[in-house]
Amino acid sequence: MRTLLEAATGLPMIVLTAALVVLVCFWLLVAVRVATPAGFDADVDLGPWGMGGVPVSVALSSLTVLAWLLGIGATTALAAFLPPGPVTGLLRLAVPLPALVVAWRLTRLFVRPLHRLRPDEPVPPPRGAAGTGDRAAPPGACDGSRDSLRGPSYDGALRVRDRVA
């Protein structure tokens, strides 16, 4: 237990431990409904990082937890299998970077199935649908669609005179 505590509060891993503490505080605020999980979605787009499609807080939470677990595991393994010395110290300093890279890859894998559960944008109801408050356009009104630009008599059938050569 002492090795685990030293690994979590040691020099390089203290940064990820602090991020984990902030993460726990954030989710406690979400639990008491002071904050919302989608509060950061307008500020950050994680699509280019391969983690889009879920709320930013979910993606960054999984990234932080995985990086912390991998970093603590690697630091504890270094302490258990290598004798204390300068080489072990240098390896311990380098642990958070590979932990973040592996955690990022794993987060991308975890987020991909979650993306299907939450579509990017809700599909708007069709124009003039019941309950939307919009009235259907009168026949012959131009709503900007390709079919309405042909005129009010267009019934969807292409005639010889309508075909473009």
- Alpha-carbon span 138 to 68, nearest angstrom: 61
**Cα atoms in the Cβ-side hemisphere of radius 13 Å centred on 130:** 0
Does the pTM surpass 0.75? The reply is no
What pLDDT tens digit does each residue of the chain (165 aa) get?
888 888 788 888 899 999 999 999 999 999 999 988 887 777 788 888 888 888 888 899 999 999 999 999 998 888 888 888 887 777 878 888 999 999 999 999 988 887 777 655 554 556 655 555 555 555 555 555 555 445 555 455 555 555 555
CA distances from 112 to 11, 38, 53, 99, 141 (A): 33, 18, 8, 20, 43
Number of CB atoms found within 10 A of residue 99's CB: 23
Q: Could you tell me which residues come within 8 angstroms of residue 43 by beta carbon, excluding any fewer than 6 positions away?
A: 56
pLDDT at 106: 95
